Amino acid sequence: ASLQQIQAKTAIAQARVEELLAQAKMRYGAALGAAIADNGPSFRTISTGGSLVSVVQAVATLVSPPAASARAPDGSRVTLCPVGSAGRISKGLLGQTFFYTGPALPIGAPLTVTLRAPGVVTGYAVPAAALIWHDNGPFVFVRMGVSRFAMYRVTRSHPLYHSGTISGFFVPGTDLPAHPAIVTAGAGLLNSALAGGDASAANDD
């Protein structure tokens, strides 16, 4: 085969790997998806007989999975190790889903899980249409006055689910001014108007 053919086959194979990684992250979340692709510790635990435990919590959105302890139906203690946020939530459930790894357990075994969150992150639930990608990062527009808008870079965002699909994102309050009037309709038009300029986010350093 010619060098060009080898390069073309390599490019196709690499594109397929990237596609599979994107699918894994969408289905299982960024942390577990990356572990699957790289044969990371959490994936090795599962593939060698350990369990994957899904925990749904419906209180304030957390930045990362908190430390957790669990008990099996027979009262025995189950050690859980945090993995990361799940890529999707089961249909009909509301809240935020985290994945943990644990010892070998029967499939579907119910656990009583206690989460020990170090703190609560306050912020805002933002509709998916309000989050815009600009200058290599996500941001939102905030109405500052009559016909006056400012864009704020979002340093962290966490998907919110409804009926198994992403309905919006949780944005930490530290990324936005107090009591922000977030633009929830027409953000794409504002972004297009700024696309050719040198606009920068109001909270950029």
Considering the domain architecture, whether residues 21 and 73 belong to the same structural domain is answered as: yes
Residue 201 lies in a domain: no
Considering the domain architecture, whether residues 8 and 107 belong to the same structural domain is answered as: yes
Considering the domain architecture, whether residues 65 and 136 belong to the same structural domain is answered as: no
Residue 161 vs residue 38, higher pLDDT: 38
Lookup: tokens for 160: 């919110």
Residue 57 has pLDDT above 60, yes or no: yes
Considering the domain architecture, whether residues 16 and 32 belong to the same structural domain is answered as: yes
Which of 22-26, 29-33, 47-51, 114-118 holds the top average pLDDT? 47-51
Task: Indicate the residue type of 8.
Answer: A
Q: Residue 130's domain spans which residues?
A: 123-194
Considering the domain architecture, whether residues 132 and 104 belong to the same structural domain is answered as: no
Judge contact between 152 and 139, C-beta under 8 A.
Answer: yes
Which residues lie below 8 Å from residue 196, measured CB to CB, with a gap of 6+? none
Residue 46 lies in a domain: yes
Considering the domain architecture, whether residues 55 and 9 belong to the same structural domain is answered as: yes
CATH for 177 = 2.40.420
Residue 199 lies in a domain: no
Considering the domain architecture, whether residues 91 and 44 belong to the same structural domain is answered as: yes
Task: Name the phi and psi angles at 25, rounded to 5.
Answer: -65, -35
Q: Domain tally for the chain?
A: 2
Cα dihedral angle (120, 159, 35, 136), rounded to 10 degrees? Answer: -100
pLDDT of residue 194: 66
pTM equals 0.50
Residue 11 lies in a domain: yes
Q: How large a percentage of the chain has pLDDT more than 70?
A: 80
Last residue of a domain, one of 94, 116, 138: 116
Considering the domain architecture, whether residues 102 and 28 belong to the same structural domain is answered as: yes
Considering the domain architecture, whether residues 35 and 109 belong to the same structural domain is answered as: yes
DSSP 180: -
Considering the domain architecture, whether residues 10 and 106 belong to the same structural domain is answered as: yes
Considering the domain architecture, whether residues 9 and 87 belong to the same structural domain is answered as: yes
Last residue of a domain, one of 116, 149, 169: 116
Last residue of a domain, one of 53, 84, 116: 116
Considering the domain architecture, whether residues 85 and 62 belong to the same structural domain is answered as: yes
pLDDT of residue 101: 93
Residue 203 lies in a domain: no
Residue 142 lies in a domain: yes
Task: Indicate the residue type of 144.
Answer: M
pLDDT confidence bin for 102, thresholds 50/70/90? very high
Residue 204 lies in a domain: no
